[in-house]
Structure 1
Amino acid sequence: MEQLEKKLKVIQFIHGFSMGGAETLVKNYCILFDKDKIETIVICLMNHHSPYDQELKDKGIRVIYIYDLLDSVMKGPMIIKKISHRLLGKLLLRSVIHRLKPDIIHSHLTLNNYIEFAAPNNTKLFHTVHTDVNLIWNKSYARQRDFRSAKRLVTKRGMILIALHNEMCNEVNELFRVNNTIVLNNGTFIEQYQDAGEKYALRKKYNIDKEAYIIGHVGRFAHIKNHDFLIDVFNSIYEKHKRSYLWMIGDGSLREDIQTKVKSMGVEEQVIFWGVRTDIPQLLKMMDILIMPSFKEGLSVSLVESQIAGIPSLVSDTIAKESSISNLVHFISLNRDKKDWAKKAMEIINTKRKFNI
């Protein structure tokens, strides 16, 4: 009788599933791994109760929330719970990981300080760098502490680093003085976009004017995404074409600030804040263009998804060129003003409509 091959036990470790680009990538990893060969367990510090959490559970993937475990035994006001998270979180994480005995731990974002404390000595370590190294390991104390942990994990534990594109790979190799960083591009599920439906059929279904310009943006509300400039660009488009709408998909700490700006400009009827969504393929299909004026990106999942959906995009030239996998991506400098961006966006929309492409 043939001996059954032992499954590889892999822990994916991330802060929580807030439905950003890194979180989407981790979720996709977990779903796509061959379950006959790999047992995947996700460990999160916090529970965001997002659709991703439920999607993983529906697929039979175990998700462990460290802070939820602490809260179940630490009774009291929120301040007590937060103190317990800070003081006891690492200890509980270490206990959970050692009990699980993983073959591999794959960490994401700024969690190297936790891994350095909690990972067993015989466990293979991987870490994905999801954005520009100068941003993720900036000069703040916490980020520098995480970088020092990452460096020790690389030099003493042989942790393998993963970059999203070639330029990032070179930056990571230089920063850590290594030459073995792996390039692993972001991807997504093509089938979701093939089955999403046709643009104008979807617009008719949702009673959206065929002649309306639908400008879209997918991403968390954070400074790096440059929503402030996006609103200025949209306002310039709206001044030229009154049947224009801006759809903003995502959530984040700066959402209220952007909502305040939208209201102050008098375009609150034209700007739709969709929040966190699970029907992004359908929403993308109804758009005319995706505009992303980000100061920096890793390899944008949203940009890859828009191309699969057949939607053209206008993006800042600071975004990695590897994000462009088609002729649908148009790069433009952030040094150009809002009217230049608006003019270019309208040219792209009108060209696509004229030739029905």
Structure 2
Amino acid sequence: MVDEEPIRVLHILGSLQRGGTESVVFNNYRAIDRSKVQFDIAIDDSSMCGIPKSITDLGCKVYRIPPYTRLPKYIFAIRRICKQGNYKIIHSHMNAVSVFSLCAAWLAGVPVRIAHSHTTAGKGKGEFIRNTLKYLLRPFSRVFANRYFACSEYAARWLFGNRVVDKGRVFVLNNAINTEKFAYDQHVRDEQRRNLGLDDKFVVGHVGRFSPQKNHFFLLEAFNALYKVRNDAVLLLIGGLGSAGGGIEEALRKRIDELGISDQVIFLGAREDISELYQAMDVFTLPSLYEGLGMACIEAQCSGLPCVLSDRVPKTARINKNVKFLPLEESCENWAKALAKSKGERKDYSKRVAEAGYDIDAVTKELEAAYIQYSMSADRDTA
């Protein structure tokens, strides 16, 4: 008897930036039973980074396609891939822009078309065009999709609307992590702080790509206010370039020089050892203008870190008690006070995070079951 081929699901990621969405897809792929479900991925040919070898080694096919800004070529490329690959399921992670990729899948006759909401939208400086496009396309989010996913109820309601959510038609798939990997480890903490020269420092950490959404300039001003009252404070910035390219990081470095705190801010870039870098921190902060969930704060809580988050981060992201939400309208001095007062016993919170629904093995089993069910229903419909 010949074993059945795994279901191949085509994931649309757009421009690869090593952000939270990519991490979610990669985490799910590593954990899923690949004898039953295989992922293939389409990314923009202008992506600033490629798919990690650890992913392609697992059997993932990678397609490079024109960005959606070249719309006719974009739709043609996805339609061709769908037809040639004979995909039953396409899973688009492009939020409101998924209308375009799912239109291509519909034209190709793909029976299961998933729109996945990973974020919301804001009104921050620097993202006017991006957010305007989101708001314009949001009413069309369900035109070509016939399955709806979201990383949180908040993100689901923003993209798909209250009626669809209240009818139970949205599958909320938590942005799960390997909880054991992010569990607190005193040995790793000591080693990382020693390697980074942080033994006697109060370390404020932030993980997020350099884009207006993450609100780095506000973070910088809040940290500067903190440094005025705690001269042992250091800011760790971890993340790669976002949609704005290197412009934000360059402007940040200029502002850091103006404030005279160059020795207190450490840029670590996009890293593969983020789970270890959390251990070196004393407090984690995420002053985002908007978030669908805020995966980084789940990781930070798993490592036992106290967190200071903007009130634009969904409250469902709070798992531990030492998580504080602050309005962005609060002064930088008040943010500095919150950072300075943040404390908590550093211990292994991995079990608590897993029980809250963020364990990768449990979540991936749910995703696997959904794909299998969708594939079977597609087979029945075409029989």
The one-letter code matched in structure 1 to 2:297 is: L
Contact 2:103 2:144 in 1 (8 A): yes
Q: Is 1:298 aligned to residue 292 of structure 2?
A: yes
One of 188, 199, 211 as aligned partner of 1:210: 199
* Unpaired segments ≥5 residues, structure 2: 350-383
**TM-score after normalising by structure 1:** 0.83
**Structure 1 vs Structure 2: percent identity of aligned residues?**
24
My pick for the range that moved more, 261-270 or 114-123, is 114-123
Aligned pairs for 1:153-232 within 5 A: 153-154=144-145, 159-174=146-161, 179=167, 180-194=169-183, 198=187, 200-203=189-192, 205-206=194-195, 208-232=197-221
The CA deviation at 1:176 is: 7.1
My pick for the range that moved more, 44-53 or 305-314, is 44-53
1:274: which partner in 2?
Answer: 268
CA distance in 1, matches of 2:226, 2:174: 33
1:92: which partner in 2?
Answer: 77
Question: Do the aligned partners of residues 91 and 124 (structure 1) sit closer, same or farther apart at CA in structure 2, a change above 3 Å counting?
Answer: same
The CA deviation at 1:255 is: 1.8
Alignment deviations for residues 201-241 of structure 1 (CA, whole Å, 9 cap, x no partner): 22454152422011111112222211111111111111112
Aligned pairs for 1:1-357 within 5 A: 4-46=3-45, 48=47, 50=49, 52-67=51-66, 87-109=72-94, 110-119=97-106, 120-132=108-120, 142-143=133-134, 146-147=137-138, 149-154=140-145, 159-174=146-161, 179=167, 180-194=169-183, 198=187, 200-203=189-192, 205-206=194-195, 208-250=197-239, 251-252=241-242, 253=244, 254-349=248-343, 352=345
- Secondary structure of 2:342 counterpart: helix
Question: Do the aligned partners of residues 132 and 18 (structure 1) sit closer, same or farther apart at CA in structure 2, a change above 3 Å counting?
Answer: same
CA distance in 1, matches of 2:266, 2:211: 17
Question: Do the aligned partners of residues 289 and 192 (structure 1) sit closer, same or farther apart at CA in structure 2, a change above 3 Å counting?
Answer: same
The CA deviation at 1:30 is: 1.9
The one-letter code matched in structure 2 to 1:288 is: D
> How large is the Cα RMSD of the aligned pairs?
3.1
Contact 2:121 2:290 in 1 (8 A): no
The one-letter code matched in structure 2 to 1:343 is: K
- Secondary structure of 2:263 counterpart: coil
Contact 2:293 2:317 in 1 (8 A): yes
- Secondary structure of 1:236 counterpart: helix
The CA deviation at 1:89 is: 3.1
Q: Which has the higher contact order (CA 8 A, sep 6+)?
A: 2
CA distance in 2, matches of 1:26, 1:34: 14
Paired residue total: 336
CA distance in 1, matches of 2:133, 2:155: 22
CA distance in 1, matches of 2:289, 2:23: 20
Question: Do the aligned partners of residues 322 and 52 (structure 1) sit closer, same or farther apart at CA in structure 2, a change above 3 Å counting?
Answer: farther
CA distance in 2, matches of 1:139, 1:243: 38
CA distance in 1, matches of 2:164, 2:230: 52
Alignment deviations for residues 292-337 of structure 1 (CA, whole Å, 9 cap, x no partner): 1112111111011101111111111221011112223221222221
My pick for the range that moved more, 204-213 or 234-243, is 204-213
Alignment deviations for residues 252-277 of structure 1 (CA, whole Å, 9 cap, x no partner): 32222222211111111111111111
2:369: which partner in 1?
Answer: none
The CA deviation at 1:190 is: 1.7
